[in-house]
Amino acid sequence: MASLARGLLRRERDFVLDGVAVGSIAGGYTQKLPKLWSAVPPYNAQLDIHAANYFASPSVKAVLRKTEQQYGGTSRDGWIVDYFHTYGPGQRYLNRRNWTGAGHSIEYVSGHDGYLADVKPPRGYNGRFGYRRNTPDLRKKSSCFGEVTIFPLH
């Protein structure tokens, strides 16, 4: 149970909130052709662990050797798009931004443990004792709970 909590805390600390930055970078590349960078990384089936059995079969390995893609291959759009998405200016900006901690927020890092962690008592008309003491009758009586107050009671 403790290892599960540590794993959850580690994942919450590693979480990066990049929605605005990624949206502005991706918006800049929408008008450029060929489209080298997008918010969604290019999909490479050879790196997908759920497709590992397919690429382990001998017939598929032979085809991959013939097409010179036996060492990880590329996405559908080719190696230039893969390279640009990993090392291009948009990704370099996001990496520098996240290395300095700009994508992290204390609310997201603390996760659910921060909910109601620093609750202040509500301040209202009823005061510390839970009922109003601003009527003449209540000012004359002491607290029915035996509270000693510094305020004058009459």
pLDDT confidence tier of residue 54, bands split at 50, 70 and 90: very high
Mean pLDDT of the chain: 75
Tokens 């109601």 sit on residue: 116
More confident residue, 84 or 53: 53
Of 15 and 26, the structure prediction assigns the larger pLDDT to 26
DSSP H helices, the chain, are: 2-14, 19-28, 52-56, 58-66, 79-87, 89-99, 106-110, 136-140
Does 59 have pLDDT greater than 60?
yes
Q: What is the pLDDT of residue 50?
A: 93
**DSSP character at residue 106:** H
CA dist 84 → 17, 42, 49, 96 (Å): 22, 10, 23, 16
Residue 135 tokens read as 């009527």
